[in-house]
């Protein structure tokens, strides 16, 4: 597959750089195979099923607000060019660029693994975050329904769960989310980076349109789910001017909590985002990159100085511009009477599944009258 800039109809990345672990290097050449106008054909999504050894992952980062997470899929068809999970595709010998959004992996046995891990005698209940790396409700979930199966296990066990998504597909499972919400067992973040449909099509091409995500907030709120909005990431001079308007629109739709994160560019994401920026916003590309560099205060680990991996500063940045952004966020939150962070969820209702996978003959009613 070519690695240089190319036509990517319906996709986010404009390049497909090799992963940092690959030993061989390839250079793109025009060999005339495409013919006609010279444009490559549209890329199709390929899904490979994998059997995981475990499904619950323990987080070790002190600036991530959860300890346990589940990711049903590796890679994400939404194609968000800014996704900081892209470099993870290098661990399976694929590119963090176009491969990340077209060559996906599905954990087909996720629900069964979860059932076993929840049934383990040593397991101690604490909230699990669903979709922390890649979106659990990305388009391929419509067919494979792995996320639905996972939520069914959690709902049956009365296990607390938080979820973050930019997909309206979460509404398919409103029956499960409503059941969990009745006992304060769920909190949902809907990610909205922009209200501009043109920008959304460019940098998150296969995600739900901004207006549709606002409708998702409304529908989750209507069934009792506590909902927040995640304005993440914020890129200076791209979606940064919309911060206050996104928060206000989400508040009107029913969101009561909010969080934000400044754009991070780990590993190959520097090249991927920079190429996208110069392809779509050549008039301001240098300005955007220079401001990002300022926010990393010279602590960048890459040659461009665009990524600061340090805990507690990597999410929000540092310097005057980062401080101004934080002040704007705080002021908007006060005006809108919104709260920061996640809702505290209950853990006292957890009833572990049977380790043999069989159903318990008589189960306690989670909603006694």
Per-residue CA distances from 235 to 33, 58, 152, 199, 241 (Å): 37, 29, 36, 12, 9
Output the pLDDT for position 39.
Answer: 60
One-character DSSP codes across 224-281: T-EEEEEEEEE-TTTTGGGHHHHHHHHHHHT--EEEEEE----TTHHHHHHHHHHHH-
Output the pLDDT for position 202.
Answer: 96
Which of 110, 83, 108, 113 shows the shortest CA–CA distance to 98?
Answer: 83
Distance CA 56, CA 127 (A): 11
Mean predicted confidence (pLDDT) in 241-255: 98
**Residue 245 confidence class, pLDDT cut points 50, 70, 90:** very high
Burial string for 179-200 (b: 16+ CB within 10 Å, else e) reads bbbeeebbbbbbbbbbbeeebb
The model's pTM is: 0.88
User: Pairing between strand 103-107 and 73-74?
Assistant: antiparallel
Output the pLDDT for position 167.
Answer: 97
Which of 21, 63, 53, 66 shows the shortest CA–CA distance to 262?
Answer: 63
**Residue 241 confidence class, pLDDT cut points 50, 70, 90:** very high
Under 8 Å between Cβ of 1 and 46: no
Percent of the chain with pLDDT strictly greater than 90: 69
* 54, burial (CB in 10 Å: exposed 0-12, middle 13-18, buried 19+): exposed
Output the pLDDT for position 2.
Answer: 41
Percent of the chain with pLDDT strictly greater than 70: 86
Judged against a pLDDT cut of 90, whether residue 21 lies above it is answered with: no
Cα torsion at 67, 115, 100, 280 (round to 10°)? -60
Mean predicted confidence (pLDDT) in 301-326: 78
Distance CA 81, CA 104 (A): 16
Under 8 Å between Cβ of 86 and 272: yes
- What average pLDDT is seen over the chain? 88
Judged against a pLDDT cut of 90, whether residue 195 lies above it is answered with: yes
Distance CA 86, CA 80 (A): 9
Output the pLDDT for position 359.
Answer: 47
Residues 6+ apart with CB under 8 A from 164: 129, 130, 131, 132, 135, 188, 189, 190, 191, 230
Q: With the C-alpha atoms ordered 189, 89, 105, 149, is the resulting torsion angle positive or negative?
A: negative
Q: Which range has the worst mean pLDDT, 32-36, 103-107, 251-255, 290-294?
A: 32-36
Judged against a pLDDT cut of 70, whether residue 68 lies above it is answered with: yes
Which residues on neighbouring strands pair with residue 234, listed in sequence order? 262
Domains of the chain: 46-263 (3.20.20.70)
Judged against a pLDDT cut of 70, whether residue 5 lies above it is answered with: no
**Residue 188 confidence class, pLDDT cut points 50, 70, 90:** very high
Q: Between 215 and 361, whose confidence is greater?
A: 215
Distance CA 17, CA 235 (A): 22
Q: With the C-alpha atoms ordered 30, 32, 33, 36, is the resulting torsion angle positive or negative?
A: positive
Mean predicted confidence (pLDDT) in 229-234: 96
Q: Between 15 and 350, whose confidence is greater?
A: 350
Mean predicted confidence (pLDDT) in 109-138: 95
Judged against a pLDDT cut of 70, whether residue 143 lies above it is answered with: yes
Judged against a pLDDT cut of 90, whether residue 198 lies above it is answered with: yes
Judged against a pLDDT cut of 70, whether residue 369 lies above it is answered with: no
297: which 2 tokens? Answer: 């205060």
Distance CA 142, CA 49 (A): 15
List, for residues 260-301, the tens digit of each pLDDT value. Answer: 999 999 889 999 999 999 999 999 999 999 999 988 875 555
Burial string for 248-262 (b: 16+ CB within 10 Å, else e) reads ebbbebbbbbbbbbb
CA 227 from chain centre, in angstroms, equals: 16
3-state secondary structure of 336: helix
Judged against a pLDDT cut of 80, whether residue 22 lies above it is answered with: no
Mean predicted confidence (pLDDT) in 135-150: 97
13: which 2 tokens? Answer: 């990345």
**Residue 362 confidence class, pLDDT cut points 50, 70, 90:** very low
27: which 2 tokens? Answer: 């250079």
**Residue 73 confidence class, pLDDT cut points 50, 70, 90:** very high
């Amino acid at each position: 597959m070519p690695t240089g800039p190319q036509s990517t109809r319906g996709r986010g990345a404009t390049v497909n750089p090799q992963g940092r672990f690959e030993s061989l290097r390839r250079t793109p050449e025009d060999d005339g195979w495409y013919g006609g106008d010279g444009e490559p054909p549209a890329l199709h999504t390929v899904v490979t099923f994998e059997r995981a050894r475990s499904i619950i992952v323990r987080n070790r980062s002190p600036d991530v607000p959860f300890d346990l997470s589940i990711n049903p899929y590796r890679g994400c068809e939404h194609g968000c060019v800014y996704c900081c999970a892209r470099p993870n595709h290098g661990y399976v010998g694929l590119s963090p660029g176009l491969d990340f959004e077209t060559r996906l992996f599905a954990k087909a046995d996720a629900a069964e693994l979860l059932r076993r891990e929840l049934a383990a005698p040593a397991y101690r209940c604490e909230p699990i975050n669903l979709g922390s790396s890649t979106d659990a409700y990305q388009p391929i979930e419509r067919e494979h329904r792995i996320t639905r199966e996972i939520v069914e296990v959690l709902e049956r066990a009365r296990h607390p769960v938080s979820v973050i998504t930019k997909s309206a597909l979460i509404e398919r499972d409103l029956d499960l989310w409503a059941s969990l919400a009745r006992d304060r067992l769920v909190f949902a973040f809907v990610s909205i980076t922009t209200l501009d449909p043109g920008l959304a099509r460019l940098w998150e091409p296969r995600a739900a349109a901004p207006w549709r995500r606002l409708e998702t907030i409304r529908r989750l709120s209507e069934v009792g789910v506590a909902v927040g909005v995640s304005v993440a990431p914020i890129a200076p001079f791209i979606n940064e001017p919309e911060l206050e308007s996104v928060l206000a629109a989400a508040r009107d739709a029913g969101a009561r909590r909010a969080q934000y994160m400044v754009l991070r560019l780990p590993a190959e994401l520097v090249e991927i985002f920079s190429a996208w920026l110069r392809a779509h916003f050549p008039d301001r590309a240098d300005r955007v990159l220079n401001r990002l560099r300022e926010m990393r205060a010279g602590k960048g680990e890459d040659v461009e100085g665009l990524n600061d991996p340090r805990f507690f500063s990597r999410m929000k940045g540092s310097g005057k511009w980062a401080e101004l952004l934080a002040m704007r966020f705080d002021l908007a939150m006060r005006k809108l009477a919104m709260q920061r962070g996640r809702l505290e969820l209950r853990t006292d209702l957890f009833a572990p599944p049977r380790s043999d996978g069989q159903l318990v003959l008589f189960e306690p009613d989670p909603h006694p009258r």
